[in-house]
Amino acid sequence: MARVAFIVTTCHEFEGVKVLSSVLKTAGHQTDCFITSEERDFAGAVLRWAPDVIGIYATTGQEDWAREHVLEWKRELPHLKVVMGGPHPSFDSDVLHDAEYVDAITKGEAEYAMLDLVEAWAADRSIADIANVGSLQDGAPLLNPIRPAIQDLDTLPFPDVDLFYKYPFLRSKRVMQVHASRGCQNNCTYCTVPRMKREWVSGAKGETFNRTKSVDYLCDEMTDIRARYPGFRMVNFGDAALNMSRGWLEEFAEKWPARVGLPFACNININYLDEEEIIQLKRSGCASVQFGLESGNEDVRMRVYRKGYTDSMVDEIPRLLRKHRITFRTNNIMGSPAETLEDMFNTVEVNRRIKPQGCTVLIYRPFKSTELGLEDFEAGRVEESRDIGPSLQLDSQMRRDDLREVVNLQKLFNLGVYLPFGPQLIKLLIRMPRNPLYDFTLLGFLWYQHAVVSGYGMLDDFKLGWKNIGQIFGRKKGGTHGVRDAASKALLDTMDVGNEAAV
């Protein structure tokens, strides 16, 4: 039996960590999770729990935050092993060279890789041949092949929510985070998911990256959670799109209201949605959906971003959502090299036309792990020396003459969409120097829309934003130490901007 401690910096219930923990517990190991913002003495709490293994989840830019803690823990617990998993080590194994810090990494989905690793360490066996695992062998990185992705998600034990709901804030929110699927139908060029589809599978015949839990399994999972945590009033599905598997929503609409009955918010892919499915969403209790419009220009959306959303879908789906009384929010990208300022104003106009209840607006970031980002770096379109922090909402790293206007437009976008003479007004305002009033305008709209339209609750959303402020504004190392450092710079270089990342 081993004691495994997961550590994370964002105050959020991580689906991946929940499932890894339940697999380890099912095999007889002990697990716990420590969130920086929720612990008065984070380092001490981990040390007192005396883990044998530390598990770090890292998106790109989060790979270094735990280093100093780990070195301290290793001094006190000389047998301690550290494994890093999640998107960052899955695409970049450099951290393996920092042997003081990390003993192994995992690539892709890690349920059984982590189990094998923990058991090998507990038995003092070699880890050199464990699939999905990377380690330093005789001073050289060894990256093992991937095992097939788990095809039937119902074979997994229910996600271990206790790990996160031990924290009063997370268990007393209105909204519970749940996942019904893995993968996505689309292959947008600014997102990491297409690369996951290629690299997080073994290539075995018939293997697929897009998978959905059965509706019965999902309802059983909810019953299991609610028996212990009855206070939740709503569900937020973190999936790329709840309408991923054809026919799934039909069964969901039959069973979810009777067996669970909680209203929910979710992401949808509008290129795979028809009226019948919108009716099914409504019958299921869907209060609000979000989708990535990204650009008002069809050519940019279809050809450059490969989003798959035509203009007619962009007009028709909102009409149907309104008809069936489901609120919706759009995600929008400002400042990609594919767009002129005029194109971006077109995105404002398209939002005015389709009338979403909210708009999330991110500044385009050229991340190296995406097709588009890589192209930008290769074409020299990126001002690599400009350190603008890790946030997707602060500034642009692209080389362009109208940078100030682009960044101001992102801040004032919602005024353009919702005020009677909005576009005319913001055309004047974006010429002004950047100022905090514009930032507050953006934050105010975001808070209101997320809290009210998606049903998160004003106070919960405010508290959540406050806890994760270091993650949002990126001025703090790991969100806890108040140091702006190389880690936040690294995040800029390679972080990916999927619309779901902004949820």
Instruction: Decide whether 19 or 359 has the Cβ nearer to ligand B12.
Output: 19
C-alpha span between 84 and 135 (Å, rounded): 11
Instruction: Decide whether 333 or 354 has the Cβ nearer to ligand B12.
Output: 333
C-alpha span between 447 and 468 (Å, rounded): 13
Instruction: Decide whether 5 or 354 has the Cβ nearer to ligand B12.
Output: 5
The nearest distance, CB 308 to ligand B12, in angstroms, is: 16
**Of residues 401-440, those binding ligand B12 (CB under 6 A):** none
Tokens found for residue 19: 């499932």
Q: Are 329 and 378 in contact, with CB atoms under 8 Å apart? A: no
The nearest distance, CB 294 to ligand SF4, in angstroms, is: 8
Q: Going by DSSP bridges, is the β-strand pair 3-8/234-237 parallel, antiparallel, or unpaired?
A: unpaired
Q: What is the helix (H) or strand (E) element at residue 319, kind and residue range?
A: helix 311-323
Closest to 167 in 3D by CA, of 23, 37, 56:
37
Site string for ligand B12, 76-105 (x = CB under 6 A): -------x-xxxx--x--------------
For residue 418, what are the contacts with CB-CB under 8 A and spacing of at least 6? none
The nearest distance, CB 474 to ligand B12, in angstroms, is: 8
C-alpha span between 315 and 45 (Å, rounded): 52
C-alpha span between 268 and 445 (Å, rounded): 22
Q: Which stretch binds ligand B12 (CB under 6 A): 161-169, 186-194, 402-410, 482-490?
A: 186-194
Q: What's the DSSP call for residue 394?
A: S
The nearest distance, CB 443 to ligand SF4, in angstroms, is: 23
**Of residues 188-217, those binding ligand B12 (CB under 6 A):** 191-193
Q: Which stretch binds ligand B12 (CB under 6 A): 187-195, 322-330, 406-414, 443-451?
A: 187-195
The nearest distance, CB 340 to ligand SF4, in angstroms, is: 22
269 binds, among ligand B12, ligand SF4, none (CB under 5 to 8 A by kind): ligand SF4
Site string for ligand B12, 453-492 (x = CB under 6 A): ------------------x---------------------
The nearest distance, CB 325 to ligand B12, in angstroms, is: 26
186 binds, among ligand SF4, ligand B12, none (CB under 5 to 8 A by kind): ligand SF4
C-alpha span between 489 and 487 (Å, rounded): 5
Burial class (CB in 10 A: 0-12, 13-18, 19+), 324: middle
Q: How far is CA 282 from CA 122, 234, 438, in A?
A: 49, 14, 36
Which of 38, 64, 111, 339 forms a contact with ligand B12 (CB under 6 A)?
A: 111
Residue with tokens 């993650």: 471
Q: What is the helix (H) or strand (E) element at residue 406, kind and residue range?
A: helix 403-418
Closest to 266 in 3D by CA, of 337, 175, 336, 186:
175
Which of 95, 114, 170, 338 forms a contact with ligand B12 (CB under 6 A)?
A: 114
> How would DSSP label each residue in 16-49?
HHHHHHHHHHHTT-EEEEEEGGG-TTHHHHHHHH
**Of residues 216-245, those binding ligand B12 (CB under 6 A):** 238, 240
The nearest distance, CB 470 to ligand B12, in angstroms, is: 11
C-alpha span between 57 and 52 (Å, rounded): 17
Site string for ligand B12, 139-168 (x = CB under 6 A): ------------------------------
Residues that bind ligand SF4 (CB under 6 A): 184, 186-188, 191, 193, 240, 269, 292, 498-500
> How would DSSP label each residue in 45-94?
HHHHH--SEEEEE--TT-SSTTHHHHHHHHHH-TT-EEEEESHHHHH--G
The nearest distance, CB 178 to ligand SF4, in angstroms, is: 17
The nearest distance, CB 156 to ligand B12, in angstroms, is: 9
C-alpha span between 207 and 291 (Å, rounded): 27
86 binds, among ligand SF4, ligand B12, none (CB under 5 to 8 A by kind): ligand B12
Instruction: Decide whether 67 or 450 has the Cβ nearer to ligand SF4.
Output: 450
C-alpha span between 384 and 386 (Å, rounded): 6
The nearest distance, CB 240 to ligand B12, in angstroms, is: 5
**Of residues 3-62, those binding ligand B12 (CB under 6 A):** 6, 9-10, 12, 14-17, 19-20, 55-57, 59-60, 62
The binding site for ligand B12 (CB under 6 A) comprises 6, 9-10, 12, 14-17, 19-20, 55-57, 59-60, 62, 83, 85-88, 91, 106, 109-111, 114, 179, 182, 191-193, 238, 240, 369, 392, 471, 495-498, 500-503
